[in-house]
A and B are shown apart, each in its own frame.
Chain A
């Protein structure tokens, strides 16, 4: 997030796109609702009529995969009606002319044809957003899990810059991160092209910096992303995979493809707290300690680095993930002598500029938001306050492209996927809870009543959902939360798994798979 969670409550306008906030980030959802109760206007763009849509002032129920057309049309209205922030654009941005040129084509009427959202609603949303002083945008995987994910994010940034809603209180472009420490995992260089602190691996100075810090020669060749790893494994080029605390058999698109890759590997190590679906394919499984058994830090969606504290002794012979990896590093001839998580933090703070001023003593009571470059720096609540990280904010105009897979005669429905309130990701943790399993014990598919009628499906019927990649049987939930032609499935469940169906097409830049759109057919089983 460019801004902070607490600021949401004081926004005048909150534009939520591709985020089912009250189910996936429930506590942030309460900030949105409190803002609404204080008088804020809520705009929601989502293919499903989510809880916040029901509370919203403008709800744009767009066809999955049409974000760019919708956002471009909003910008078209803003420029057409002269609602843009000229001063902000002139002083802090560049490439505005090209943006104007591109969005000129996206009249609300044209966008209505693409997105299915009435032109007048798009106009209203654009006006409400542009005219407010404090307007923030919240988004999540509904924006990023598309083959056009990067373009979607560019469009959001374009909209915010166009209206001067960056670097200010209760504004900003705010991705809500889905996992407890996905922010930290990225910050720490858990990505194939960057060292800790987003320092690119192909830049000579960075390689030299880390070679000096770690005392070994390093590769400057960017590595493989998750999806590429599976492709390379199937091709026989990737031979060994070491998985720490992930369950790609359930979480990744096209389960069959993932399993084929794991089976093809010569050697697979899985380190987890349970024997997950992925662990079944491993040659060695290592028992890891849970978050309650270890010290460390997580970084939340607003970049706040917070302490994790050991509450109980390790269960069984399990060990903290870092201890296991350090043991292996030592045995492979790389000597390291960390005695505690604090020792590691002190080292990572030295090489990660954003974390340089943070230490355990400083975050004992309250976490600090990075960037925090020095020990006397208070941390950063709002990014891009006076200038953007790159200097001028660059408008990146994008044209609408269709999703990789479109419905056709054979597969006439669009399947979109997501999480529900009562489960978390692949259910490794929540699936162990009786209460949650009683409330949400099995997978289902949401079908619009009109479609259900057409196919003779009643609520609770067993339905076969089939895509080009596979087929699953799940119960039907007849609801007008989804529009005609669109079906929704939660992706948590191993039985009736949505990711048996999803498409591996991915965004060229981020390699993020298009989990939010694939073509399926349904029939009563």
Chain B
């Protein structure tokens, strides 16, 4: 264990941690833009700089290992001045359209400007003038809002391993794009949205079918209902409707999703959902009450069971339904109907 001091308090931490990890462990928050726990530190954005006593410069907390006896200040004047300067620089070419920006309320840039009282840039504005790439069906890319933290590029290349996007050009002209600026739809992008999930600002945003403010939605953690990987995700709910999906950063998917889990949720509130029981009369479905439907089902099943025996009835349970429902369905067939004629599409 190493003995270190953070903001005047003494702590003991494990060997091998970065300053950022050590701070996190003891509950001291250090801001980041480019950091992602799943990736190796890149030290790109510098917003995580801290003061280390005895060091010549401010150190990037994300990529500096803690050493025994280290004395760290995370919000000293020097640190705050440096962060303010970084924000000042970023804002010089960032559109200040927070009033209508979809990211507002969940934007790291907004949060830090708020924290450090930065209202605008003191530098001569040098706004970017890129076209917004709307070519993907599920999300858009607005390079004008991009702060070049590089997380999207790294997630696409190092975690998703699709390699659809990268940096183009140098210096002030640096921007994130697809090969030859041909647009996301013409790249190898598989629409997983894993880049969107890590963008700290409003540069990569899901296309919304229904407008909502980030603070208006309730997030409910659940399990994806597509394939058998069992990805953990949040359903975003507004006005009793599912309006979006975000990944959960934990096992088994570690913050990654695919196009179906991330973007194909609109079936939930689709207009074609069955809303009432239907009974077929003279070859046509007619709406019925639950009582009518239950009476009809119970009557017919009882009749068939009495006439032909329990093995003349079968049930298909479902790989789509919950464990609880599968248990109940097979119990219904076995204990109530009296047959083992129960199966499902495990083989399909």
Any A CB within 8 A of the CB of B44:
no
Any A CB within 8 A of the CB of B160:
yes
Any B CB within 8 A of the CB of A275:
yes
Pick from A324-332, A393-401, A443-451 the stretch touching chain B. A324-332
**Distance between A344 CB and nearest chain B CB, rounded to angstroms:** 4
Give 11 A-B contacts (CB < 8 Å), ordered by A residue: A37-B161, A179-B320, A185-B321, A246-B344, A286-B277, A299-B323, A320-B325, A321-B325, A332-B336, A432-B267, A515-B348
A112 to B143, CA, bound (A): 52
Q: Which residue of A lies closest to B256 (CB)?
A: A27
Any B CB within 8 A of the CB of A63:
no
Any B CB within 8 A of the CB of A406:
no
* 4 further interface pairs, Cβ-Cβ under 8 Å (given A27-B231, A298-B322, A316-B273): A180-B228, A275-B278, A304-B251, A306-B230
User: Is B228 within 8 A of A25, CB to CB?
Assistant: yes
A341 to B321, CA, bound (A): 12
Choice from B222, B301, B345 contacting A308 with Cβ under 8 Å: B222
**Distance between A85 CB and nearest chain B CB, rounded to angstroms:** 29
Any A CB within 8 A of the CB of B297:
yes
- List B contacts of A6 (CB < 8 A): 251-252
**Distance between B110 CB and nearest chain A CB, rounded to angstroms:** 27
Any A CB within 8 A of the CB of B112:
no
Pick from A101-109, A124-132, A219-227 the stretch touching chain B. A219-227
- List A contacts of B192 (CB < 8 A): 26
User: Is A298 within 8 A of B294, CB to CB?
Assistant: no
Q: Which residue of B lies closest to A276 (CB)?
A: B274
Pick from B8-16, B114-122, B327-335 the stretch touching chain A. B327-335
Interface residues of A (CB under 8 A from B): 4-6, 22, 24-28, 30, 33-34, 36-37, 144-145, 176-193, 195-196, 201, 210, 214-219, 221-226, 229, 237-246, 248, 251-252, 266-267, 269, 272-275, 282-288, 290-294, 296-302, 304-313, 315-322, 325-329, 331-334, 338, 341, 344-345, 347-348, 365-367, 421-422, 424-425, 428-430, 432-436, 438-439, 510-513, 515
- List A contacts of B298 (CB < 8 A): 328, 331-332
- List A contacts of B347 (CB < 8 A): 144-145, 226, 510-513
Any A CB within 8 A of the CB of B28:
no
User: Is B280 within 8 A of A284, CB to CB?
Assistant: yes
Choice from B259, B310, B332 contacting A26 with Cβ under 8 Å: B259
- List B contacts of A434 (CB < 8 A): 137
A184 to B228, CA, bound (A): 10
A5 to B256, CA, bound (A): 13
Choice from B158, B273, B326, B346 contacting A315 with Cβ under 8 Å: B273
A515 to B347, CA, bound (A): 10
**Distance between B95 CB and nearest chain A CB, rounded to angstroms:** 27
User: Is B277 within 8 A of A179, CB to CB?
Assistant: no
User: Is B273 within 8 A of A244, CB to CB?
Assistant: no
B: interface residue count bin: 35 or more
User: Is B263 within 8 A of A296, CB to CB?
Assistant: no
Give the A-B contact count at a CB cut-off of 8 A: 454
A27 to B316, CA, bound (A): 29
User: Is A196 within 8 A of B327, CB to CB?
Assistant: yes
User: Is B275 within 8 A of A273, CB to CB?
Assistant: no
B residues 198-255 near A (Cβ < 8 Å) are 218, 220-232, 235, 237, 240-242, 250-253
A366 to B321, CA, bound (A): 20
User: Is A304 within 8 A of B280, CB to CB?
Assistant: no
User: Is A219 within 8 A of B310, CB to CB?
Assistant: yes
**Distance between A355 CB and nearest chain B CB, rounded to angstroms:** 8
A276 to B266, CA, bound (A): 17
User: Is B314 within 8 A of A181, CB to CB?
Assistant: no
User: Is A422 within 8 A of B310, CB to CB?
Assistant: no
List of 4 A-B pairs having minimum Cβ-Cβ separation, nearest first: A316-B275, A300-B230, A296-B322, A435-B137
- List B contacts of A338 (CB < 8 A): 328
Q: Which residue of B lies closest to A226 (CB)?
A: B343
A138 to B314, CA, bound (A): 33
User: Is B312 within 8 A of A302, CB to CB?
Assistant: no
- List A contacts of B253 (CB < 8 A): 27
Any A CB within 8 A of the CB of B341:
yes
User: Is A192 within 8 A of B343, CB to CB?
Assistant: yes
Any A CB within 8 A of the CB of B269:
yes
**Distance between B234 CB and nearest chain A CB, rounded to angstroms:** 9
Centre residue among B290, B321, B344 by max chain A CB count within 10 A: B321
Centre residue among A191, A195, A313 by max chain B CB count within 10 A: A191
User: Is A348 within 8 A of B323, CB to CB?
Assistant: yes
- List B contacts of A267 (CB < 8 A): 300-301, 304
Any A CB within 8 A of the CB of B319:
yes
- List B contacts of A326 (CB < 8 A): 328
**Distance between A53 CB and nearest chain B CB, rounded to angstroms:** 15
**Distance between A315 CB and nearest chain B CB, rounded to angstroms:** 5
A183 to B314, CA, bound (A): 21
User: Is A300 within 8 A of B228, CB to CB?
Assistant: yes
User: Is A210 within 8 A of B334, CB to CB?
Assistant: yes
Choice from A188, A225, A239 contacting B323 with Cβ under 8 Å: A188
- List B contacts of A319 (CB < 8 A): 290
User: Is B230 within 8 A of A298, CB to CB?
Assistant: yes
Any A CB within 8 A of the CB of B302:
yes
**Distance between B158 CB and nearest chain A CB, rounded to angstroms:** 7
User: Is B223 within 8 A of A322, CB to CB?
Assistant: no
Q: Which residue of A lies closest to B255 (CB)?
A: A27
Centre residue among A313, A421, A515 by max chain B CB count within 10 A: A421
User: Is A287 within 8 A of B277, CB to CB?
Assistant: yes
User: Is B329 within 8 A of A284, CB to CB?
Assistant: no
User: Is A30 within 8 A of B318, CB to CB?
Assistant: no
Known: A180-B320, A216-B335, A300-B229. A288 touches B274 (CB 8 A): yes
- List A contacts of B225 (CB < 8 A): 180, 290-291, 298, 308, 429
Q: Which residue of B lies closest to A275 (CB)?
A: B274
A286 to B318, CA, bound (A): 15
Any A CB within 8 A of the CB of B130:
no
A241 to B344, CA, bound (A): 12
User: Is B277 within 8 A of A284, CB to CB?
Assistant: yes
User: Is B274 within 8 A of A285, CB to CB?
Assistant: yes
Centre residue among B310, B335, B339 by max chain A CB count within 10 A: B335
Any A CB within 8 A of the CB of B338:
yes
Q: Which residue of A lies closest to B296 (CB)?
A: A284
User: Is A239 within 8 A of B320, CB to CB?
Assistant: no
**Distance between B73 CB and nearest chain A CB, rounded to angstroms:** 34
User: Is B267 within 8 A of A429, CB to CB?
Assistant: yes
A302 to B320, CA, bound (A): 17
A244 to B313, CA, bound (A): 14
Q: Which residue of A lies closest to B273 (CB)?
A: A315
User: Is B275 within 8 A of A287, CB to CB?
Assistant: yes
User: Is A223 within 8 A of B220, CB to CB?
Assistant: no
**Distance between A135 CB and nearest chain B CB, rounded to angstroms:** 20
Any A CB within 8 A of the CB of B140:
no
A65 to B104, CA, bound (A): 55
Q: Which residue of A lies closest to B290 (CB)?
A: A317
User: Is A367 within 8 A of B340, CB to CB?
Assistant: no
User: Is B312 within 8 A of A240, CB to CB?
Assistant: yes
User: Is B328 within 8 A of A322, CB to CB?
Assistant: yes
Known: A290-B268, A312-B241. A219 touches B334 (CB 8 A): yes
- List A contacts of B324 (CB < 8 A): 296-297, 322, 341, 344-345, 348
A52 to B276, CA, bound (A): 45
A216 to B300, CA, bound (A): 22
User: Is A297 within 8 A of B228, CB to CB?
Assistant: no
User: Is A424 within 8 A of B227, CB to CB?
Assistant: yes
Any A CB within 8 A of the CB of B180:
no
A309 to B276, CA, bound (A): 23
